[in-house]
């Protein structure tokens, strides 16, 4: 259609507009204009008919579970809140006990117990149990019982109302050792309100023992003369009202104290006394007698302790200390041997004793007598010689007085003089039994006067001195060689011939007198021209040979006293071979060099040394060889 015609129709007047085609009718879903249902409406009906209902069986079951769970939670929470509102808090029932932090053993201690009910219910069937510290002694015996091995007081109390409190007191004597910790325990048992359950609250208190009421006191003279015999009185006292069991009293003596006896006698050694029991307030004493020696103005301290025996061990519970001072007597005397007070003597040795005497006061004293006594089996008393003194062989004493030494008629103030005497140690110690060892040379000296000056009356004017000298062991090594030996046959030419080997048997024998010796070793050397065959007896001996140096080492270790006297000789036998060279023709040859032995004396502590001569090819101990039989031939 042309554009102009189209515009005319669009802008025609109203009348003409009515001639236009009517507007389409309203469209209804699912309907046709002719009133018929559409296909989509039918589909909707079928879909609705096939849809599942909202509350299916599965969903109903899940809903029931959720409802039951919610109800359970409500019940549990409600029950907890109900239980919480009805439960009992034991922390609100307080039990405390008070005492003394530091106590002396045996002291009476008072414990204050306080209990409080800070809950809102009444406590019924209330019972208080107070457990006393171990080893304590309760004062109040009422309501007393045993819990295990400890004493306890059990008291039934009235009902304790809410907010109320109560107090009780318990007393006991506490005993134990120093630094022991002692614990008291209190327990309060009860029922709370209408509950049938039993509850318990508790408290405790700890005390420490800082002292023990066992007192030790010494009774000693303030000053003693060197060499004076004295009595030491040691008193012990229990100041408490309780007893102590299984104790021991021990003494520690100073150097220079020689124990003689005691009353009562020691239970062990010379310094220990067993005290099965020290009763309450008991006092006892031990009297010890002995001789004390020392240097002038030297302080001598005596120590004692009381110990609690605990099986194989002990614990000191009390200690005491006493001391005295060594002072020179108006007449003093001092001994030395070979210019020493710590000399160690050797078997067969010559000893020189020096005795120094002195008047230490400012007035003359006289007449004076000096006596020396020799108390030992180790000395050869037939060899005793004394400068101007008289030796009495009946009692082994040497005496000097004014008849032999005029200076002793009157010893002037401050005068100091010396006299000597001499004696030999025996060449061999007297041994008859295995107990004959550890020999000591004991020499005592005393200076005195029968006339005591008026100004010194009441004073001990005599002076004494003691000198003990230990005797070293005598360790002896002998070395011998044999060609003809029945136990170890040898071979080769005698005299030894150039280019041919001759074998020999060597014996090392050891004898040990007087003391046990340790770390014993024997050493010797073979010259380069002597061969170590490697045979020795006993085969178990600890023997080593160094072929580079030719050194033979025999390690023995411990060697008992009197080996070779009461015990068999300690012996090593070994074999060597000698092949001479032409340069040795006509010579006597050393087969084994000089041998040495060493060891340490377990009694004296001395290092011991010994030697044995070299063994030559003439074998002086083998009578079958002779002098010419030892010279090398071509």
In this predicted structure, what is the pLDDT of residue 87? 57
- CATH architecture label of 214-327: Sandwich (2.60)
CB atoms within 10 A of CB 317: 22
Domains 90-211 and 474-630 are alike in CATH topology = yes
79-111 in b/e form (b: 16+ CB < 10 A) is: eeeeeeeeebeeeebebebebeeebbbbbbbeb
In this predicted structure, what is the pLDDT of residue 6? 47
pTM: 0.54
Q: Where are the alpha helices (DSSP H) in 18-150?
A: 39-50, 57-86
3-state secondary structure of 431: coil
In this predicted structure, what is the pLDDT of residue 200? 93
Of the candidates 467, 498, 457, 482, the residue with the CA atom closest to the CA atom of residue 615: 482
Count how many Cα atoms sit within 13 Å of the Cα of residue 397 in the half-sphere of its side chain.
11
In this predicted structure, what is the pLDDT of residue 49? 53
Q: Could you say which DSSP state residue 365 is in? A: B
424 within 8 A of 293, measured Cβ to Cβ:
no
- The CATH homologous superfamily to which domain 90-211 belongs is ntegrin, alpha v. Chain A, domain 4 (2.60.40.1530)
Query: Counting runs of H as helices and runs of E as strands, what totals does the chain give?
Result: 4, 39
In this predicted structure, what is the pLDDT of residue 17? 42
Residues 6 or more apart whose Cβ sits within 8 Å of residue 348: 424, 425, 426, 427, 474
* Model pLDDT for residues 583-632, shown as the tens digit of each residue: 999 999 999 999 999 999 999 999 999 999 999 999 999 999 988 899 99
| Distance in angstroms (rounded) separating the CA atoms of residues 324 and 256 | 12
In this predicted structure, what is the pLDDT of residue 42? 56
Cis peptide before 206 (omega within 30 of 0): no
3-state secondary structure of 454: helix
| Distance in angstroms (rounded) separating the CA atoms of residues 95 and 192 | 16
| Distance in angstroms (rounded) separating the CA atoms of residues 419 and 402 | 14
Q: Strands 198-211, 102-104: parallel, antiparallel or unpaired by DSSP?
A: parallel
CATH of 474-630, one of 2.60.40.1510, 3.40.50.2300, 2.80.10.50, 2.130.10.10: 2.60.40.1510
Q: Which stretches of the chain score pLDDT less than 50?
A: 3, 6, 10-11, 13-38, 40, 43, 80-86
Would you kindly state where each structural domain of the chain is located, as residue ranges?
90-211, 214-327, 331-470, 474-630
CATH of 331-470, one of 3.30.9.10, 2.40.40.20, 2.60.40.10, 2.40.30.10: 2.60.40.10
CB atoms within 10 A of CB 488: 18
Integer CA distances (angstroms), 238 to 135, 173, 308, in order: 17, 14, 14
Count how many Cα atoms sit within 13 Å of the Cα of residue 193 in the half-sphere of its side chain.
11
């Amino acid at each position: 259609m042309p554009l102009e015609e189209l515009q005319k129709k669009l802008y025609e007047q109203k009348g003409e507009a009515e001639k236009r085609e009517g507007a389409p009718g309203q469209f209804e879903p699912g309907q046709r204009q002719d009133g018929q249902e559409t296909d989509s409406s039918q589909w909707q009906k079928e879909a609705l008919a096939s849809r599942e209902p909202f509350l299916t069986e599965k969903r109903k079951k899940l809903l029931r579970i959720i409802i039951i769970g919610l109800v359970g939670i409500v019940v549990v929470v409600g029950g907890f809140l109900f239980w919480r509102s009805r439960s009992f808090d034991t922390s609100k029932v307080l039990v405390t006990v008070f005492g003394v932090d530091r106590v002396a053993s045996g002291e009476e201690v008072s414990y204050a117990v306080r209990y409080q009910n800070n809950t809102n219910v009444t406590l019924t069937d209330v019972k208080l149990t107070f457990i006393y510290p171990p080893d304590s002694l309760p004062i109040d015996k009422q309501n007393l019982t045993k819990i295990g091995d400890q004493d306890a007081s059990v008291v039934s109390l009235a009902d304790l109302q809410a907010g109320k409190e109560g107090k009780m007191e318990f007393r006991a004597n506490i005993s134990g050792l120093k630094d022991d910790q002692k614990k008291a325990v209190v327990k309060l048992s009860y029922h709370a309100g209408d509950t049938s359950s039993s509850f318990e609250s508790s408290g405790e208190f700890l005390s420490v023992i800082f002292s023990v009421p066992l007192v030790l006191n010494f009774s000693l003279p303030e000053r003693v003369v060197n060499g004076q015999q004295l009595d030491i009185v040691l008193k012990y006292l229990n100041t408490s009202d309780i007893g102590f069991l299984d104790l021991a009293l021990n003494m520690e003596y100073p150097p220079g104290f020689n124990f003689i006896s005691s009353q009562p006698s020691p239970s062990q050694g010379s310094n220990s006394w067993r005290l099965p029991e020290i009763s309450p307030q008991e006092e006892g004493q031990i009297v010890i007698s002995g001789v004390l020696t020392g240097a002038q103005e030297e302080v001598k301290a005596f120590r004692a302790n009381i110990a609690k025996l605990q099986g194989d061990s002990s614990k000191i519970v009390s200690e005491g200390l006493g001391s005295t001072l060594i002072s020179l007597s108006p007449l003093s005397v001092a001994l030395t041997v070979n210019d020493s007070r710590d000399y160690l003597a050797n078997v067969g040795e010559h000893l020189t004793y020096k005795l120094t005497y002195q008047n230490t006061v400012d007035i003359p004293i006289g007449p004076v007598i000096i006596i020396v006594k020799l108390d030992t089996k180790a000395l050869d008393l037939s060899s005793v010689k004394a400068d101007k003194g008289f030796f009495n062989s009946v009692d082994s004493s040497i005496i000097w007085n004014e008849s032999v030494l005029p200076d002793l008629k009157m010893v002037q103030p401050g005068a100091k003089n010396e006299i000597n005497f001499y004696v030999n140690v025996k060449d061999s110690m007297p041994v008859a039994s295995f107990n004959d060892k550890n020999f000591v040379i004991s020499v005592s000296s005393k200076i005195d006067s029968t006339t005591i000056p008026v100004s010194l009356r009441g004073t001990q004017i005599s002076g004494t001195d003691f000198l003990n000298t230990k005797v070293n062991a005598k360790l002896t090594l002998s070395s011998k060689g044999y060609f003809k030996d029945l136990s170890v046959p040898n071979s080769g030419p005698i005299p030894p011939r150039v280019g041919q080997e001759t074998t020999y048997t060597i014996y090392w024998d050891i004898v040990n007198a007087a003391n046990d010796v340790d770390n014993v070793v024997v050493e010797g050397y073979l010259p380069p021209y002597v061969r170590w065959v490697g045979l020795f007896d006993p085969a178990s001996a600890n023997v080593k040979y160094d072929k580079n140096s030719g050194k033979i080492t025999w390690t023995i270790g411990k060697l008992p006293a009197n080996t070779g006297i009461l015990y068999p000789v300690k012996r090593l036998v070994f074999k060597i071979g000698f092949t001479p060279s032409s340069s040795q023709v006509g010579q006597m040859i050393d087969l084994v060099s000089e041998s040495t032995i060493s060891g340490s004396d377990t009694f004296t502590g001395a290092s011991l040394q010994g030697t044995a001569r070299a063994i030559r090819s003439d074998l002086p101990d083998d009578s079958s060889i002779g002098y010419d039989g030892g010279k090398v031939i071509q």
